[in-house]
């Protein structure tokens, strides 16, 4: 898995502090950014977050590039609706020798890994054979329509792979770009940094959180699973690692043994 922070709103914490200033003072637009050196900006931002007033943080966005994640993860990602996604298309891009993610539990069990790898090999063979058969069918149809060979070949492959992709597994990797505003990231981290989140998307969330903390440390200083701010909401299904998680995400000595 590779995750990069491609772009983000410049001076994002100062901009949010300006929003807080607008809410709680008589400042006009011309003076919103005045007297917002880092110390004042951090103070405004922490006050805002302590009050649970999160609407101003929607003004800043973060765009990530992600590769080497599974289509299974992609299905979970798009449940986070207040975000924008651009994904490599299996309809327009031929997979060729597709890459795939092996879950750790399968990787660490030789018999299970052997079954998994054999299945991936069979999926590849099926994809390649279906693509071949469909291309031939479409080439004949396009030739009858009078298309020249180069154009016919291009259109035939595109039409073939949009159907052949149906045999590709959830493990097949993909590449995507996604943009979240900061408030949506809070929600994403709350759900996906939790120990009960699926392992692959939890790894992604942790990598994303580390990246945004580098550029907006105050804004994300308390981001992570919901147990950082109170009791675990999972009830009987709690992982029981609240103290450990607070050490990990908050770097808090209070919870160190």
Closest CA to 167 of 86, 88, 71, 102: 71
Give residue 23's pLDDT: 74
From the list 192, 202, 246, 256, the catalytic residue is 192
Count Cβ atoms within 10 A of the Cβ of residue 238 and give its class: 0-12 exposed, 13-18 middle, 19 or more buried. Answer: middle
207, HSE (Cβ side, Cα atoms, 13 Å):
16
Closest CA to 140 of 150, 123, 152, 132: 152
Give residue 257's pLDDT: 42
Q: pLDDT tens, 27-40?
A: 677 777 777 788 77
Task: Tell me what percent of the residues of the chain surpass a pLDDT of 70.
Answer: 96
81 belongs to the catalytic site: no
Q: pLDDT tens, 149-179?
A: 899 999 999 999 999 999 999 999 999 999 9
Q: pLDDT tens, 103-123?
A: 999 999 999 999 999 999 999
Give residue 27's pLDDT: 67
Q: pLDDT tens, 8-56?
A: 999 999 888 888 777 777 767 777 777 778 877 888 888 888 888 888 8
Closest CA to 197 of 80, 48, 59, 88: 80
Q: pLDDT tens, 52-96?
A: 888 889 999 999 999 999 999 999 999 998 899 999 999 889 988
Give residue 134's pLDDT: 97
CA–CA separation, 96 and 207 (whole Å) = 29
| Confidence at 253, pLDDT banded by 50, 70, 90 | low
Domains and their CATH numbers in the chain: 2-87+173-224 (3.30.1360.170), 104-167 (no CATH), 227-257 (no CATH)
Closest CA to 185 of 159, 220, 156: 220
What are the residue ranges of helices labelled H in 90-148? 104-107, 110-144
């Amino acid at each position: 898995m590779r995750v990069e922070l491609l772009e983000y709103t410049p001076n994002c914490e100062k901009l949010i502090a300006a929003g807080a200033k607008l809410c709680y003072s008589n400042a006009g637009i011309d003076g919103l950014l005045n007297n917002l050196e880092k110390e004042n900006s951090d103070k405004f931002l922490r006050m805002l977050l302590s009050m649970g007033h999160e609407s101003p943080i929607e003004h800043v966005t973060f765009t990530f590039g992600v590769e080497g994640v599974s289509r299974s993860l992609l299905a979970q990602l798009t449940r986070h609706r207040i975000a924008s996604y651009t994904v490599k298309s299996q309809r327009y891009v031929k997979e060729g020798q597709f890459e795939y993610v092996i879950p750790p539990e399968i990787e660490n069990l030789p018999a299970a890994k052997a079954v998994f790898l054999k299945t991936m090999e069979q999926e590849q063979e099926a994809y390649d054979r279906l693509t071949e058969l469909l291309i031939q069918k479409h080439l004949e149809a396009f030739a009858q329509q009078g298309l020249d060979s180069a154009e016919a070949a291009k259109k035939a492959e595109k039409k073939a792979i949009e159907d052949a992709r149906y045999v590709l597994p959830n493990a097949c990797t993909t590449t995507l770009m996604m943009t979240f505003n900061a408030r949506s990231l809070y929600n994403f981290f709350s759900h996906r940094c939790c120990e009960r989140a699926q392992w692959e998307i939890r790894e992604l969330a942790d990598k994303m959180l580390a990246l945004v903390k580098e550029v907006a440390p105050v804004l994300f200083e308390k981001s992570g699973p919901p147990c950082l701010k109170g009791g675990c909401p999972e009830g009987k299904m709690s992982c029981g690692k609240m103290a450990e998680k607070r050490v990990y995400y908050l770097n808090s000595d209070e919870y160190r043994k």
